[in-house]
Amino acid sequence: MEHGDDTARGGQGDPTVSDRWGVDRSAADLDWVGEDETAVEPPVGYLPDGLVTLRYVWDAVRRHVRLWVAIALLGLLVGSLVPVVLPPPSEATTRLLLSHREGVDTLQAMATDVKLVTTRTVASRVVEQLGLEESPDELLEQYDVAQVTDRIVEIYVRAPTGAEAKLLASTIANTFLEFRVEQVKAHLRPMKAQLSAAQGDLTALQERIERQQEEPDVATEARLGRLEDRVAQMRGRVEDQRAARVLVSSSRILDQAALTPRSKLKTVVLDVATGIAGGLVVGLGLVILRALVSDRVWRRQLIADALGAPVAVNLSSIGRRRGLLPARLNRSHRARVELEVQGVARHVRRLLGGSPGGDPALSIVALSDERTVAWLTAEVLRTLADADTRVLAADLSSGGWLAGELEHATGIDVFVPDSAERPPEGLSVSGEGSPTEELPAELLAAWDEADTIIVFTDVSLLQGLDHLSTWADEAVAVVSAGACTATRLRTTSELLTLAGVRLDSTVVLRGDRTDETAGIPGDAAAEPTVARILRTTVR
């Protein structure tokens, strides 16, 4: 290849380049300060930016079906392990038959008894009697009390084992019955003291009257009558309280503590169903939230609009891992990958020389998944080298991924710049009559022998792409669906335009299966010539 023919590759020729896709581009046509008056309105068939529809959310759910299904399966696994790792507590119940004094409101009395069972006093006595490590407040959380009828209450107890649950239920019931009798006795003691005091006063007054041996006066008789009435009244109250104590003491355990029957199958089914439902809610919630807040571009139409270049190749298998599939399915996947590589190679050949005026130099710009794009580029280069074509591969990426893929390749000269201080420049920078002494000798020799020049680079927004025009004046962008935002894509297109490099087309990795768009930019979609272009689309 002659050095003098490289001025066109550096963008030094006619600034207006006829786009092979039917769109004429010129640096003068871009208004970098104000609005572009020649901007084409987006097609009517596309929704305005920022409008979220149910179809948009549904496509996101379909797109990430593996994610939310995996989370749902994880929920199923967690739900299946819960009964084993965290077995449900055993439950025991016991019923008490309670008696109340006559004349009281039984409903109100039962409500009081229910409250008494759940007092800290009862819980403290149970903890002390059984020697439990729990505090009274913690014990209160392990049992509940419910009123069944106007005389029957039921105690529900939860414990780690069935024996503990039954013991705890019986202890709570007996402790409550004892505590209830104590409350009646507590009311009887002051009554007896009052009766004894009144009886003493009455006896003292009677003895004094007897010692006087004369009729008592009116005041003494009145006092004597009051004391006799008081003693009679107190005796009646004491008798009533004793009768109440007898009634309360007759309260008993109606049903001894017994375990509540539970179906293990029902428990497992409920835990598994809860795990699946929780996993689905979390998975779908994450997918929908990601779709609402993310500004990453998935559709080919939006990618083409942002880059200003049509999507020429859509790859659905390259970049997707299939290591866990059976051998037969893996062979099928590898076959699809080979077909997709051949499709990309055909597209690259057409750009290099298959059409009139084709350039033997092409830049492949990786906007995402640089390692995958480097592997794809290496496979395409091997295909080109097999066709008796001497290929010069310049790896300008920051990680040197292409050079690693072509380490043992034959028929391909790989150039990796030594210095990372400034962007590496190609031979086209010399131009006609310009010095080339600053360029490496191996690059000059490989450039002379090469039939095809392929440049692989990633995008650095800080470094820019000005150096790319010294290698080739035409580029192909490779981007994964959903990997970049529209802003990053537009910025990359602008950097290429400023560098004098024409972005011919786009290759999309891991294409969205829900995408039904063609991938033609809005301004090119209106040109009838686009329909006559041969597009290589591998599904």
Asked if residue 80 belongs to a domain, the reply is: no
Asked if residue 48 belongs to a domain, the reply is: no
Q: To which H or E segment does residue 73 belong?
A: helix 65-85
Distance CA 457, CA 468 (A): 9
* Residue that terminates a domain, selected from 239, 261, 283: 261
CATH number of the domain within which 254 lies: 3.30.1890
353: exposed, middle or buried (Cβ count in 10 Å: 0-12, 13-18, 19+): middle
Which pLDDT belongs to residue 434? Answer: 39
Beta strands at 143-147 and 17-18: parallel, antiparallel or unpaired: unpaired
What's the pLDDT tens digit per position in 83-105? 888 888 889 999 999 887 777 78
Which pLDDT belongs to residue 435? Answer: 41
Which pLDDT belongs to residue 33? Answer: 38
Distance CA 490, CA 303 (A): 9
Beta strands at 391-395 and 452-458: parallel, antiparallel or unpaired: parallel
Q: Examine the domain organization and report whether 114 and 198 are in the same domain.
A: yes
Asked if residue 361 belongs to a domain, the reply is: yes
Question: For residue 353, is pLDDT > 80?
Answer: no
Q: Examine the domain organization and report whether 463 and 397 are in the same domain.
A: yes
Asked if residue 52 belongs to a domain, the reply is: no
Range scoring the smallest mean pLDDT among 134-143, 177-186, 304-313: 177-186
CATH number of the domain within which 347 lies: 3.40.50.300
Closest CA to 392 of 414, 421, 368: 414
Mean pLDDT of the chain: 77
Q: Examine the domain organization and report whether 96 and 242 are in the same domain.
A: yes
Q: Examine the domain organization and report whether 146 and 250 are in the same domain.
A: yes
Question: For residue 476, is pLDDT > 90?
Answer: yes
Higher-scoring residue by pLDDT: 477, 232? 477
Q: Examine the domain organization and report whether 8 and 131 are in the same domain.
A: no
Which pLDDT belongs to residue 94? Answer: 94
Which pLDDT belongs to residue 5? Answer: 43
Which pLDDT belongs to residue 276? Answer: 93
The upper half-sphere exposure of residue 439, i.e. CA atoms within 13 Å in the direction of its Cβ, equals 21
Asked if residue 11 belongs to a domain, the reply is: yes
Which pLDDT belongs to residue 13? Answer: 40
Q: Examine the domain organization and report whether 125 and 210 are in the same domain.
A: yes
Q: Examine the domain organization and report whether 390 and 439 are in the same domain.
A: yes
Which pLDDT belongs to residue 8? Answer: 37
Range scoring the smallest mean pLDDT among 225-234, 312-321, 344-353: 225-234
State the average pLDDT over residues 278-303.
88
When divided into structural domains, the chain yields a total of: 2
Which pLDDT belongs to residue 37? Answer: 44
Range scoring the smallest mean pLDDT among 100-109, 168-177, 339-348, 390-399: 100-109
Question: For residue 427, is pLDDT > 80?
Answer: no
State the average pLDDT over residues 337-344.
90
Distance CA 4, CA 326 (A): 55
Asked if residue 312 belongs to a domain, the reply is: yes
Contact 153, 114 (CB under 8 A): yes
Given pLDDT bands bounded at 50, 70 and 90, which one contains residue 422?
Answer: low
Contact 360, 471 (CB under 8 A): no
* Residue that terminates a domain, selected from 233, 261, 289: 261
Q: Examine the domain organization and report whether 169 and 238 are in the same domain.
A: yes
What's the pLDDT tens digit per position in 144-203? 999 998 889 999 999 988 899 999 999 999 999 888 888 777 666 677 677 677 777 777
What's the pLDDT tens digit per position in 2-35? 444 443 333 344 433 334 444 444 443 444 334 4
Please give the residue range of the domain that contains residue 356. Answer: 3-40+297-532
Q: Examine the domain organization and report whether 177 and 316 are in the same domain.
A: no
Given pLDDT bands bounded at 50, 70 and 90, which one contains residue 274?
Answer: very high
Angle between helix 65-85 and helix 54-63 axes, rounded to 10 deg: 60
Asked if residue 360 belongs to a domain, the reply is: yes
Q: What are the backbone dihedrals phi and psi of residue 413, each rounded to the nearest 5 degrees, phi first?
A: -95, 120
Which pLDDT belongs to residue 447? Answer: 72
* Residue that terminates a domain, selected from 205, 234, 261: 261
Asked if residue 284 belongs to a domain, the reply is: no
Higher-scoring residue by pLDDT: 188, 444? 444
What's the pLDDT tens digit per position in 28-72? 344 433 444 444 444 444 444 455 678 778 888 888 888 899 999
